[in-house]
């Protein structure tokens, strides 16, 4: 089953169970996916597109939680936290730092990277292999550390 189809069926289930938070998040995902499909030349909504959109929404929620916590607005942070939990269900399992580190070392040897000038090659390869399963900031930090 495609993730997009799963989201549509989960929207119906959230409506029936009157789960307002889940329904709002799922509708947000669906609207972003529909915008994505109409803005690009390829109108097909693949699992990769869904993961990309959900990952972006999840990252936005996490940044918002951090801002709210800094401002002492725990009530708003809790609301964002509950929304991020719904988004997590549609993301692939995230790799641990050790797994990312191993993938970075493999990518460096595969691209024959010699220094920081080859960081783009390594990051490109990593994004194609484990992009949806890891945070780009963590990946970039490990690549910098290994290439330095």
How far is 73 from 85, CA to CA, in rounded Å? 19
Average pLDDT (21-49) is: 86
Q: What was the pLDDT predicted at 45?
A: 82
Q: What was the pLDDT predicted at 19?
A: 93
Q: What was the pLDDT predicted at 42?
A: 67
Higher pLDDT, 11 or 125: 11
Model pTM?
A: 0.74
- 15: alpha, beta or left? (left if phi > 0; alpha if psi -120 to 50): alpha
Q: By the 8 A CB rule, do 61 and 78 touch?
A: no
How far is 104 from 107, CA to CA, in rounded Å? 5
**Composition of the chain by helix, strand, coil, percent to 5:** 80, 0, 20
Q: Quick: pLDDT tens for 41-62.
A: 667 788 888 888 898 999 999 9
Q: Quick: pLDDT tens for 83-129.
A: 999 998 988 888 888 888 888 888 888 888 888 888 888 888 888 88
Interior/surface letters 129-141, b for 16+ CB within 10 angstroms, e for the rest:
ebbbbbeeeebee
Asked whether residue 7 carries a pLDDT value surpassing 90, the answer given is: yes
CA nearest to 1, candidates 122, 90, 71: 90
Strands (E), 46-121: none
Strands (E), 9-76: none
How far is 33 from 30, CA to CA, in rounded Å? 5
User: What is the average pLDDT value for the chain, to the nearest integer?
Assistant: 87
Q: What was the pLDDT predicted at 137?
A: 82
Asked whether residue 148 carries a pLDDT value surpassing 90, the answer given is: no
């Amino acid at each position: 089953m495609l993730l997009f189809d799963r989201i549509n069926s989960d929207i119906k289930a959230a409506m029936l169970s009157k789960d307002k938070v889940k329904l709002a998040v799922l509708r947000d995902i669906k609207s972003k996916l529909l915008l994505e499909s109409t803005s690009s030349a390829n109108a097909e909504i693949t699992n990769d597109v869904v993961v990309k959109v959900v990952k972006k929404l999840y990252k936005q929620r996490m940044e918002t939680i951090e801002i709210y916590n800094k401002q002492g607005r725990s009530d708003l942070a809790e609301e964002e936290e509950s929304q991020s939990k719904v988004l997590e269900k549609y993301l692939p399992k995230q790799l641990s730092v050790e797994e990312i580190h191993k993938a970075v070392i493999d990518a460096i040897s595969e691209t024959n990277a010699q220094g920081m000038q080859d960081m783009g090659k390594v990051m490109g390869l990593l994004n194609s292999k484990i992009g949806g399963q890891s945070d780009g900031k963590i990946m970039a930090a490990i690549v910098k550390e290994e290439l330095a």
